[in-house]
Chains A and B, each alone.
Chain A
Amino acid sequence: MADAGGHLLIVDDNKVNRLLLSRSVELLGHRASVAENGRIAMERLQEESFDLVLLDIEMPEMDGFEVLAAIKDDPRLRDLPVIVTSSVEGIENIVRCIELGAEDYLAKPVNKTLLGARLSSGLEKKRLRDEQKRLLKRFATSEVADDLQASGFAIGGSRVRASVLFCDIRGFTSLSEDQSPEETIELLNVYYTLMFEAIGSHGGIVTLMIGDGLMAVFGAPQPLENPAASAVSAAQDMLAMMGQFNEERSADGRPAIGLGVGIATGEVVAGYAGTDQRATYTCIGSTVNLAARLEAHTKVLSREILIDAETLAALGGGFHTEEHTGVTLKGFAGSLTVCSVT
């Protein structure tokens, strides 16, 4: 068996059943804690972390149906697999358990082989969900991650209006050739930490990291009041943070790090794409391509932040911008007017 054993909570008002289930579970290599009724179970679930719940239905004080409903109602517990073990009569009760979100139903007396198989499968699901959560948390603020979890990790997309930001380090390749690999990775770690902070604090989500480049989305999956203003504010924060970091570097006699940021606003197809094992939140569309081109074009215009006309129109006041006309970008017809922000 691949799983190393999980920590299970056995909820049953009957002592013989508690003893027998604990014993069976322990013989299968898992750790068991017990609760005598639903109310005690909910208390234990708040205090301690469990990998799976084995739940009886017929109990005084708070029955299994009520426990299931309470677990599925709690954002922190809703992903916890629950296997109902009961000798309750009537197919409608089994259906009710499944509808309330139970992973599985096992009739009592529980067959040991069947129990082993269901536990393995339930614990594997828990492991995958935890892994998805961890991955997601690395790419998004916890707020956005919770939001995605609430929507149930459904793979699929929707059309949304959002602002897309691309950012990279100026001359990173030559910079990395002049320093040790350890220094390069250390630099990237600092860079990512600062950029994630700037993006996250303005409600954005990082959807892509390649080398020194990253892509972030504002306005999806979580709607923002003004995605364009959030994206530009995040870009300004990025530059301000980099400025501070560069002061430290110059004190050590090391060269300053320059950034280029491109921002475009418009409709994108945004969604959760991938497989059940590995998936990420992503955005696709010409708005994304435009943001990438603008970021590249910062070198041509010797500016740090370039935004498209739609971002400018959505910005409102409070930003210092400069217009650049007659800009041609690969993949976009005609000449465009873009703006730099300082």
Chain B
Amino acid sequence: MTESPVDEAVLRELEEATGADFVAELVATFLEEAPVMIADLSAAAGAGDGEAFRRAAHSLKSNASTFGATTLSDQARALELGGLPEDAGARDDAIIALKAEYDRSAEHLRDLTDG
């Protein structure tokens, strides 16, 4: 799978609408905030807090789609709609997959907004 995790057209459109410098700052903010959201998601999963789990997934979905990180957004959306998986193994797998996709997306976003 060599497909890019970030839809560059979405990012460029955002730059056109709000300015490249602003988007670089916005991406930097996202890269600070997203690990917190993923940590919240993990913590909520561990604590069995379905509402907090859904809310963290929702936030991540919303931001990922803003930057064109389509796969990440889809994964987060699946967690938001599906809720907390009952099976502990499935829960861990989902979060690991989400983290991996976030790392890929973050790297691309960094590259794409690095001047």
- A residues with a Cβ closer than 8 A to B are 13-17, 19-20, 23-24, 27, 58, 60, 87-89, 108-109, 112
List the A residue with the shortest CB-CB distance to B73: A87
Chain B stretch 4-31: residues in CB contact (< 8 A) with chain A: 14, 17-19, 22, 25-26, 29-30
B29 touches A19 (CB 8 A): yes
Residue among B22, B59, B80, B81 making CB contact with A14, cutoff 8 Å: B59
Task: Give chain B residues whose Cβ lies under 8 Å from the Cβ of A88.
Answer: 58
A19 touches B63 (CB 8 A): no
A108 touches B65 (CB 8 A): yes
List the A residue with the shortest CB-CB distance to B37: A14
The CA-CA distance from A17 to B65 in the complex, in Å, is 11
Task: Give chain B residues whose Cβ lies under 8 Å from the Cβ of A13.
Answer: 59
Task: Give chain A residues whose Cβ lies under 8 Å from the Cβ of B33.
Answer: 14-16
| A14-B62 in contact given A27-B18, A58-B55, A60-B55 (Cβ < 8 Å) | yes
Interface string of B50-90 (1 = CB under 8 A from A): 00000100110111011000000000010011000000000
- On chain B, which size bracket covers the interface? 20 to 34
| A89-B80 in contact given A15-B33, A24-B17 (Cβ < 8 Å) | yes
| A24-B18 in contact given A16-B30, A58-B58, A89-B80 (Cβ < 8 Å) | yes
A14 touches B63 (CB 8 A): yes
Q: Whole-angstrom distance from the CB of B115 to the nearest CB of chain A?
A: 19
Q: Whole-angstrom distance from the CB of B4 to the nearest CB of chain A?
A: 18
A17 touches B29 (CB 8 A): no
A20 touches B80 (CB 8 A): no
List the B residue with the shortest CB-CB distance to A14: B59
A87 touches B61 (CB 8 A): yes
A112 touches B66 (CB 8 A): no
Q: Which of B25, B58, B81 has the most chain A CB atoms closer than 10 A to its own CB?
A: B58
Q: Whole-angstrom distance from the CB of A77 to the nearest CB of chain B?
A: 26
The CA-CA distance from A87 to B61 in the complex, in Å, is 8
Task: Give chain A residues whose Cβ lies under 8 Å from the Cβ of B81.
Answer: 89
A112 touches B17 (CB 8 A): yes
A-B complex: 10 closest residue pairs judged by Cβ atoms: A87-B62, A109-B66, A112-B17, A16-B63, A16-B30, A23-B18, A58-B58, A14-B59, A108-B62, A15-B33
List the A residue with the shortest CB-CB distance to B65: A109
List the B residue with the shortest CB-CB distance to A23: B18
List the B residue with the shortest CB-CB distance to A89: B81
Chain B stretch 83-99: residues in CB contact (< 8 A) with chain A: none
The CA-CA distance from A103 to B58 in the complex, in Å, is 23
List the B residue with the shortest CB-CB distance to A27: B18
Task: Give chain B residues whose Cβ lies under 8 Å from the Cβ of A14.
Answer: 33, 59, 62-63
Q: Whole-angstrom distance from the CB of B43 to the nearest CB of chain A?
A: 14
Task: Give chain A residues whose Cβ lies under 8 Å from the Cβ of B14.
Answer: 109
A23 touches B80 (CB 8 A): no
The CA-CA distance from A108 to B22 in the complex, in Å, is 18
The CA-CA distance from A87 to B66 in the complex, in Å, is 11
Task: Give chain A residues whose Cβ lies under 8 Å from the Cβ of B18.
Answer: 20, 23-24, 27, 112
List the B residue with the shortest CB-CB distance to A59: B55
The CA-CA distance from A16 to B18 in the complex, in Å, is 13
The CA-CA distance from A27 to B19 in the complex, in Å, is 10
The CA-CA distance from A112 to B61 in the complex, in Å, is 19
Task: Give chain A residues whose Cβ lies under 8 Å from the Cβ of B30.
Answer: 16
| A87-B58 in contact given A24-B18, A109-B65, A112-B17 (Cβ < 8 Å) | yes
The CA-CA distance from A87 to B63 in the complex, in Å, is 10
List the A residue with the shortest CB-CB distance to B63: A16
Task: Give chain A residues whose Cβ lies under 8 Å from the Cβ of B61.
Answer: 87
The CA-CA distance from A272 to B26 in the complex, in Å, is 50
List the A residue with the shortest CB-CB distance to B68: A109
List the B residue with the shortest CB-CB distance to A24: B18
The CA-CA distance from A88 to B19 in the complex, in Å, is 27
The CA-CA distance from A16 to B111 in the complex, in Å, is 19
